[in-house]
Chain A
Amino acid sequence: DAGITQSPRYKITETGRQVTLMCHQTWSHSYMFWYRQDLGHGLRLIYYSAAADITDKGEVPDGYVVSRSKTENFPLTLESATRSQTSVYFCASSSVVLAGFSETQYFGPGTRLLVL
């Protein structure tokens, strides 16, 4: 019963480097989300995906790329990391109900990223 996992849990990188954060869920949920959490800003949506090969921008997508070739995986790539991307990144998933995606989102444990 793994649920939703993220890797790595902690990452230190340098400005300009490419970084990929992984997210994997075992529930076969259709919807997956990436958030970043910073002090004073709460949770802000970066990208989300309604199904494999369907992705859409959230509130703060600049500097990030996502893909979803398989339902269970939703990697987030920082193409050229900047200090402003230092944050805690959470992946989440939810199932489909009649009214769209379920109001219940299940969050992974988070990845703490430091960009030097």
Chain B
Amino acid sequence: GQSLEQPSEVTAVEGAIVQINCTYQTSGFYGLSWYQQHDGGAPTFLSYNALDGLEETGRFSSFLSRSDSYGYLLLQELQMKDSASYFCAVKVNRDDKIIFGKGTRLHILP
């Protein structure tokens, strides 16, 4: 089967840095995406890694290691508005579906 594992919850302090990990086991791999979802809202795209290494977009960075089937999302200078759920997702094939993880709920303390 196909599976993506990520922690169910993470807690961090405002202004700090937090890392959300994702390990995957899938039949194919084209790339790893990250999505953010606020309560009651729709998922929104954050980042995508197709190759090993770090991609930076403002306060958010995403890392991929294909050899380890592992990636993470790094959030810096945490703000209260970053309180949300974060999903990793793997594009398995060229024209096929994306598999989503179950999500990590990020709690931010003032």
- A positions within 8 Å CB-CB of B: 33, 35, 40-45, 48, 50, 58-59, 90, 92, 99-101, 103-110
Contacts and interface: CB of A to CB of B under 8 A. Distances in A.
Contacts of A40: 102
A42 B95 contact: no
A106 B45 contact: yes
A42 B103 contact: yes
Contacts of A44: 100
B101 interface: yes
A43 B95 contact: no
A41 B33 CA distance: 18
Given A103-B98, A109-B41, 10 more contacts: A33-B97, A35-B100, A41-B102, A42-B102, A50-B95, A99-B30, A100-B95, A105-B98, A108-B42, A110-B42
22 contacts: A35-B100, A40-B102, A42-B103, A43-B100, A45-B99, A48-B97, A50-B95, A58-B97, A90-B42, A90-B43, A100-B95, A103-B30, A103-B48, A103-B98, A104-B33, A104-B45, A104-B48, A105-B35, A107-B43, A107-B44, A108-B42, A110-B42
Interface string B75-103: 00000000000010001011111111111
A41 B95 CA distance: 23
Nearest to A42: B102
Contacts, number: 54
Question: Which of B35, B42, B50 has the largest count of A CB atoms less than 10 A from its CB?
Answer: B42
A100 B94 contact: yes
B94 A105 contact: no
Contacts of B93: 100
Contacts of B96: 100
A35 B96 CA distance: 14
B31 interface: yes
Contact of B43 (A43, A45, A103): A43
Nearest to B8: A40
Nearest to B4: A42
Nearest to A48: B97
A8 to B, nearest CB: 15
